Every structure is written in C-alpha cells, then in structure tokens.
C-alpha cells in the first residue's frame, strides 16, 4: 500500500470517530498516540512523526479504546481501569486487558470500514506497544511511570 491509501484509511477512521462517537482527532508531530478526555470531551491524538502505516495502526488502536469506553458496561468489564492515580495490581491488569481489547477492536473496526490490514505488521506493532505496558505492569515504579493514565 502507498501513503495515499493509508491516508484515505486514516480519514475513514477519523470520519467514523467524529460521526459515530463524537470524538475529535488531533494530528501533530509532538502529539502522543492517545485517547484522552480534556475538559470532559473525548479526543484522540496521533503522532505524525511516524510513517502513515503506523499512524493508521495508532488511530485504529485509539479508536478501539473509544469504542470500549463508549460501551455502557465499561465499568463492569474494567472496574479498575479508570483509577488514574492507582498503581494497584487490579488496575494494572485492567489496563493490560483494555490495551489488548483496544488493539482487537481496532482490527475489527478496520474490517467494518473495509480497510485492508497487513495483519502480521499490525500485530507486530500491537505486540511492541503492549510489551511496554507489560513492563510497566510488572513494575510501575521503575519502568514507564508516565503510563500512569490509561
């Protein structure tokens, strides 16, 4: 695939996020890949200092978080997921569970939108980023303390 196709796919995900979930998307070199709620309004930010393919994977993953958090059963499924200031084992496991689910929901969204993914490449990116959370979950005081807010 070329950058033009990746950009069209990114645009399709952005349109879905705006129209279906009322979520703003911000792109920028200094932006983190993140789902967050400044002032109570859901927002996704995507770093543009990564290749277009990786921007697509990132927006799909963050969209996965948005889909999961829009589920009315979120608090039942991840009872400790929103405990921002807590580094308990319960919260760390819920964060890991949500991270996995967000990557999977992102792949499902790609399929729903007709986006063709290179699943091997997508899963390699998924595993690379998930491993950062695994290291944080193992010991948040010595590794990845900045992961404090899911």
Q: What is the mean pLDDT of residues 69-82?
A: 90
* The pLDDT of residue 87 is above 60: yes
* The pLDDT of residue 142 is above 90: no
Which tops the pLDDT comparison, 113 or 40? 113
Confidence of residue 50 (pLDDT cuts 50, 70, 90): very high
Q: What is the mean pLDDT of residues 82-102?
A: 87
**Helix, strand, coil percent content, the chain, rounded in steps of 5:** 60, 10, 30
Task: For the chain, list the strands marked E by DSSP.
Answer: 24-28, 34-36, 43-47
Spell 110-143 as b/e; 16+ CB within 10 A means b. beeeebebeeeebeebbeeebeebeebbeebeee
pLDDT of 1 reads 84
Q: Is the separation of the CB atoms in 14 and 27 below 8 Å? A: no
Q: What is the mean pLDDT of residues 96-119?
A: 97
CA-to-CA distance for 115 and 9, rounded, in angstroms? 6
């Amino acid at each position: 695939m070329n950058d033009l196709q990746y950009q069209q796919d990114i645009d399709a995900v952005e349109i879905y996020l705006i129209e279906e979930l009322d979520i703003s998307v911000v792109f920028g070199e200094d932006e983190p890949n993140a789902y967050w709620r400044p002032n109570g309004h859901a927002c996704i930010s995507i770093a543009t200092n990564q290749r277009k393919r990786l921007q697509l994977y990132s927006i799909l993953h963050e969209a996965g978080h948005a889909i999961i958090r829009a589920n009315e059963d979120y608090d039942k499924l991840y009872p400790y997921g929103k405990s921002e200031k807590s580094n308990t084992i319960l919260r760390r496991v819920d964060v890991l569970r949500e991270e996995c689910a967000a990557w999977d929901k992102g792949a499902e969204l790609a399929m729903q939108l007709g986006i063709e993914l290179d699943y091997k490449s997508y899963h390699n990116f998924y595993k690379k980023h998930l491993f950062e959370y695994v290291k944080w979950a193992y010991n948040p005081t010595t590794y990845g303390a900045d992961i404090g807010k899911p």
